[in-house]
C-alpha cells in the first residue's frame, strides 16, 4: 500500500482509526511502526479522537471493588449513553501495596494512580488502559516531618509534557495555616523538582480529597481560616505557567464547614462541586468556567432515599443530564451503581455491585499516549 500512496495520505487514513487496530498495524511494516509510534502522530491522533468524542458518545471509565473481594480492583469502560454498555475491561497490570490504588485523575487517556489509600508509599503509576502500558514514576522526596500530601495530574500543552504536582503540608505559619512545599514531576524529564511557586496558604482537606484537570489547570477544594471562620475556595494550579489561582465558590459552599464533606469533579469543560451533608447531598455546577455568577445548584437528593437505600456518594454527571450515584443496599449489604434523573426524580439501577466507598469514575478518551516511551520503562501484560 505504501508503494502506491504518499506517506501523508497513509497518515490521514491511520489517524481516523481506533487505538486497537493501530497497535496491531505497528507490526505490518517498519514504516507504519515508525509513523504510529512517532510523537507527532500520537498527538494528532489524540486531537482527532477528542473531536470525535465531543460529537459522539463519550466513554466513562469505572473503577470499583467487588464486595466479595474488596482487594481486587476492577476497571471497565462504558458508553455514556442510555445503555451504559460495558465495551472494554482493561486489567490493571500492577499490584497495590494497600488495598487498592487511589485514582488521582485522568488526562488524554492516561490515569495517574497513587498507592496511598492506607499507607503512604510514594508510589505513582501512569497507566494507559487502551494500549496496556504503564510507567512507574520516580519516587519523590519524602520529608520525615510531612503531615500529609495532596496530588494533581495534568498536561502541559506548551511543552507537550504530562506533569504531577504534589503539595506536601509540613508546618504552620503564625496564623495556624498549613504551608505546603510543592514538588513537580515531569514525564519528559522523568524526575521531580521543587518549584518556586508559592501556594496560597489554604488547606486542602485530605478526607474526600479530589482533583480535576480542566482548562490547563488542576483544581482542588481548599479552605482558609478567616476572622469570621473558615472560607472555602477552589484552588487551581496552571501546569504550564506553574502558578496558582483562586476561584470563588457560591456563598452556600464558601461557608460550609468543613471542606472534607465536599468533592470536585468535571462537568463537561467546566467544574462541579459535590456537597455532602448528613441528610442531603447536592451538586453545584459552574456553567461558564471562571465566571463566579454562573454557579448553579443542579440538584439535591435525600441521603436516605428510602428505608432500604442510602446514597454513599455522587460519582459524577452524565452527558444526558443524569448523575451516577453509589448507593448502599441495607438489605443485601452491598453497594449499587445507580443513574439518577434529577428532573423526574427517577433512579435506574445499572446492575453493578460494589464495595461502598472504593468506587470512582473518570471521563475517558482513548489515546496512544506512552506508545513513544522507551520500552524498558513499560510492561505489557
Please write down the HEC assignment for all residues of the chain.
CCCCCCHHHHHHHHHCCCHHHHHHHCCCCHHHHHHHCCHHHHHHHHHHHHHHHHHCCCEEEEEECCCCCCCCCEEEEEECCCCCCEEECCCCCCCCCCCCCEEEEEECCEEEEECCCCCCCCCEEEEECCCCEEEECCCCCCCCCCCEEEEEEEEECCCCEEEEEEEEEEEECCCCCEEEEEEEEECCCCEEEECCCCCCCCECCCCCCCCEEECCEEEEEEEEEECCEEEEEEEEEECCCCEEEEEECCHHHHCCCCHHHEEEEEECCEEEEEEECCCEEEEEEECCCCCHHHEEEEEEEECEEECCEEEEEEEEECCCCCEEEEEEECCCCEEEEEEEECCCCEEEEEEEEECCCCCEEEEECCCCCCCCCCHHHCCCC
Residue 37 has pLDDT above 90, yes or no: yes
In which band, very low, low, confident or very high, does the pLDDT at 377 lie, cut at 50, 70 and 90?
Answer: very low
User: C-alpha dihedral over 346, 348, 349, 350, to 10 degrees?
Assistant: -150
Q: What is the pLDDT of residue 174?
A: 52
Measuring CA to CA, how many Å separate 81 from each of 30, 221, 318, 319? 39, 29, 8, 7
- Residue 23 CB contacts under 8 Å (≥ 6 apart), including other chains: 36, 131, 371
- Asked if 85 and 98 count as a contact pair (C-beta separation under 8 A), the reply is no
Q: Which of 371, 322, 314, 316 is nearest to 342 (CA)?
A: 322
Residue 161 inside a domain? The answer is: no
* Cell reading at 181: 512545599
Q: What is the mean pLDDT of residues 275-283?
A: 90
Count of C-beta atoms within a 10 Å radius of residue 86: 13
Residue 341 inside a domain? The answer is: yes
Residue 355 inside a domain? The answer is: yes
Count of C-beta atoms within a 10 Å radius of residue 97: 12
Say if residue 170 is exposed, middle or buried (CB neighbours under 10 Å; 0-12, 13-18, 19+).
middle
Residue 334 inside a domain? The answer is: yes
- pLDDT tens-place string over residues 192-239: 999 877 777 788 866 667 999 999 999 999 988 777 778 899 999 999
- pLDDT tens-place string over residues 130-168: 999 999 999 988 776 667 788 999 999 999 999 999 988
Do 353 and 319 have their domain in common?
yes
Query: 25 lies in which domain range?
Result: 7-46
Q: Based on the structure, what is the number of domains in the chain?
A: 2
* Cell reading at 275: 456537597
* Cell reading at 152: 494533581
- pLDDT tens-place string over residues 322-372: 999 999 998 888 899 999 999 998 999 999 999 888 899 999 999 999 998
- Residue 203 CB contacts under 8 Å (≥ 6 apart), including other chains: 169, 177, 178, 222, 223, 224, 259
Q: What percent of the chain has pLDDT over 90?
A: 61
- Asked if 104 and 114 count as a contact pair (C-beta separation under 8 A), the reply is yes
Give residue for cell 506508545.
371
Residue 368 inside a domain? The answer is: no
Do 70 and 34 have their domain in common?
no
Residue 288 inside a domain? The answer is: no
Residue 87 inside a domain? The answer is: yes
Residue 321 inside a domain? The answer is: yes
Q: What is the pLDDT of residue 376?
A: 39
* Cell reading at 299: 440538584
In which band, very low, low, confident or very high, does the pLDDT at 118 lie, cut at 50, 70 and 90?
Answer: confident
Do 351 and 318 have their domain in common?
yes
Amino acid at each position: 500500500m505504501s508503494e502506491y500512496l504518499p506517506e501523508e495520505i497513509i497518515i490521514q487514513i491511520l489517524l481516523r482509526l481506533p487505538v486497537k487496530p493501530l497497535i496491531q498495524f505497528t507490526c505490518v511494516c517498519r514504516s507504519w511502526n515508525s509513523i504510529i509510534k512517532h510523537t507527532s502522530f500520537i498527538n494528532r491522533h489524540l486531537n482527532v479522537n477528542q473531536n470525535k468524542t465531543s460529537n459522539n458518545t463519550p466513554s466513562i471509565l469505572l473503577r470499583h471493588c467487588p464486595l466479595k473481594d474488596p482487594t481486587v480492583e476492577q476497571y471497565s469502560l462504558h458508553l455514556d449513553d442510555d445503555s451504559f454498555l460495558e465495551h472494554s475491561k482493561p486489567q490493571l497490570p500492577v499490584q497495590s501495596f494497600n488495598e487498592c490504588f487511589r485514582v488521582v485523575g485522568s488526562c488524554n487517556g492516561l490515569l495517574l494512580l497513587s498507592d496511598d489509600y492506607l499507607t503512604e508509599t510514594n508510589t505513582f503509576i501512569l497507566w494507559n488502559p487502551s494500549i496496556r502500558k504503564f510507567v512507574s514514576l520516580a519516587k519523590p522526596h519524602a520529608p520525615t516531618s510531612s503531615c500529609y500530601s495532596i496530588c494533581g495530574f495534568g498536561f502541559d500543552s506548551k511543552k507537550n509534557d504530562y506533569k504531577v504536582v504534589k503539595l506536601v503540608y509540613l508546618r504552620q505559619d503564625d496564623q495556624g495555616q498549613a504551608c505546603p512545599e510543592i514538588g513537580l514531576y515531569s514525564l519528559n524529564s522523568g524526575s521531580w523538582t521543587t518549584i518556586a511557586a508559592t501556594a496560597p496558604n489554604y488547606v486542602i482537606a485530605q478526607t474526600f480529597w479530589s482533583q480535576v484537570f480542566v482548562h490547563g489547570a488542576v483544581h482542588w477544594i481548599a479552605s482558609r481560616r478567616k476572622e469570621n471562620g473558615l472560607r472555602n475556595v477552589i484552588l487551581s494550579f496552571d501546569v504550564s505557567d506553574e502558578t496558582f489561582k483562586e476561584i470563588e465558590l457560591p456563598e452556600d459552599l464558601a461557608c460550609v464547614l468543613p471542606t472534607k464533606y465536599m468533592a470536585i469533579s468535571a462537568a463537561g469543560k467546566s467544574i462541579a462541586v459535590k456537597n455532602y451533608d448528613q441528610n442531603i447531598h447536592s451538586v453545584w455546577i459552574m456553567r461558564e468556567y471562571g465566571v463566579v455568577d454562573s454557579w448553579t445548584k443542579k440538584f439535591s437528593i435525600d441521603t436516605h432515599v428510602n428505608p432500604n437505600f442510602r446514597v454513599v456518594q455522587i460519582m459524577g454527571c452524565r452527558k444526558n443530564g443524569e448523575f451516577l450515584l453509589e448507593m448502599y443496599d441495607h438489605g443485601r449489604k452491598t453497594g449499587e451503581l445507580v443513574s439518577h434523573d434529577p428532573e423526574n426524580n427517577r433512579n435506574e439501577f445499572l446492575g453493578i455491585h460494589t464495595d461502598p466507598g472504593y468506587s470512582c469514575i473518570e471521563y475517558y478518551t482513548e489515546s496512544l499516549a506512552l506508545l513513544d516511551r522507551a520500552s524498558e520503562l513499560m510492561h505489557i501484560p
